[in-house]
Amino acid sequence: MRVLVTGGAGFIGSHLADALLARGDEVAVADDMSAGRSSRVPGQAVTHKVSVTDGNLLAAVVGDYRPDLICHLAAQIDVRVSVAQPALDAQANVIGTVNVLEAARATGARVLFGSTGAVIYGRDAPIPSREDVLPLPESPYGVAKHCGEQYVQLYNRLHGATHAVLRFANVYGPRQDPAGAAGVVAIFCAQALAGERPTVYGDGLQTRDYVYVGDAVSACLAAADSGRPGTWNIGSGTEVSVLELIRMIARVAGHAIDPVFAPARPGELLRGALASDQARRDLGWDASTPLDEGVARTYRWIEAGTPERAGW
């Protein structure tokens, strides 16, 4: 397959580029480098510095490369930025997605859209949440992702496409920026290594669903190969509290971690986990990496100095 990965210089996208190349696919990357690094992109993949908000330039890149599949992972991913600058977020996450769909329509490419399961379901959603729960996002980022999904599904109805949506849980692993705004596993591992105390907002009993980046990538490959349209949750189905996560990191670090407690952040969801039975049934996908193993790999990667291309 010839695959264009938008956001391919980022955390998930660069792992996906590696995996596609490893199985013999041809890969190009489209990334504006706002958070991406070219040193993460495997040498065999050509990188185009382009923003998905620039519809004309993107269409030219897609028109030249003529991919069979576009894995659309480029996004403004910071929920707090989306609250402060919702128009900027919508520009990247809504208009950018429409531009990708239009470029795909012009060339006949299929699109795989990286959405979120972590912040798309509302606070009253049953846990673990299934795909048929009505999305009620609490942030502009969640609304924009939901809107992107709606466009993807519309293109399937309107133009007979077979595009697909993956709703990722909290993806973690090597190459996630330990200094970034998202990615609590990497942030806490880096703090443990630096001998710093992590800050826990609220009582630390709030839960999230963590999925290892290698499993998120295998979900992309399974959805790419299936060729079928659909929307799938990609998570472990397991609720893990912030305090449990800290205890797990402490076991890997070999010393106790004593967090600092701060007031709960307004708007933060108390619980989250995704039911991924549909992905298991339709795609034969399962989250196979146990959290303690994935956490240990992330810790070792940070301990090794966060190398871009190996070290875990």
Ligand X SMILES: NC(=O)c1ccc[n+]([C@@H]2O[C@H](COP(=O)([O-])OP(=O)(O)OC[C@H]3O[C@@H](n4cnc5c(N)ncnc54)[C@H](O)[C@@H]3O)[C@@H](O)[C@H]2O)c1
Q: Contact positions toward ligand X, by CB under 6 A? A: 6-7, 9-13, 31-36, 51-53, 73-77, 92, 96, 114, 116, 118, 168, 170-171, 182
CA distance 276 to 273: 9
Amino acid at 262: A
Q: Is 176 helix (H, G, I), strand (E, B) or coil?
A: coil
Complex with ligand X: residue 120 or 296, whichever CB lies closer: 120
Beta carbon of residue 30, minimum distance to ligand X (angstroms, whole number): 6
Q: Which is nearer to ligand X, 69 or 77 (CB)?
A: 77
Other CB atoms within a 10 A radius of the CB of residue 29 amount to 30
CB nearer to ligand X: pick between 39 and 197? 39
- Minimum distance from CB of 84 to ligand X (Å)? 16
Task: Say how many C-beta atoms besides its own lie within 10 A of residue 56's C-beta.
Answer: 10
Burial 203-237 (b: 16+ CB within 10 A, else e): ebebbbbbbbbbbbbbbbbbbbebeebbbbbbbbb
CB atoms within 10 A of CB 267: 10
State the residue number with the nearest CB to ligand X.
Answer: 10
For 160, list phi and psi in degrees, rounded to 5: 65, 25
DSSP readout, 207-253?
Answer: EE-EEEHHHHHHHHHHHHHH---EEEEES-S--EEHHHHHHHHHHHH
Q: Which amino acid is at 73?
A: L
Q: How far is the CB of 195 from ligand X (least distance, A)?
A: 26
The CB-of-292 to ligand X minimum distance in angstroms stands at 18
Catalytic residue among 121, 141, 212, 299: 141
- Catalytic status, residue 210: no
Separation between Cα atoms, residue 191 and residue 195, nearest integer Å: 6
Q: Which is nearer to ligand X, 10 or 229 (CB)?
A: 10
Q: Which is nearer to ligand X, 114 or 294 (CB)?
A: 114
Nearest distance, CB of residue 35 and ligand X, angstroms: 4
- Smallest distance from the beta carbon of 4 to ligand X, in angstroms? 11
Question: What residue type is assigned to position 6 of the chain?
Answer: T
For residue 164, give both structure tokens.
């697909």
Q: How many CA atoms lie within 13 A of 183 on its CB side?
A: 25
Q: Which is nearer to ligand X, 197 or 239 (CB)?
A: 239
Would you say 114 and 99 are in contact if contact means Cβ atoms under 8 Å apart?
A: no
**CA 199 from centroid of its chain's CA atoms:** 23
Active-site residue numbers?
141
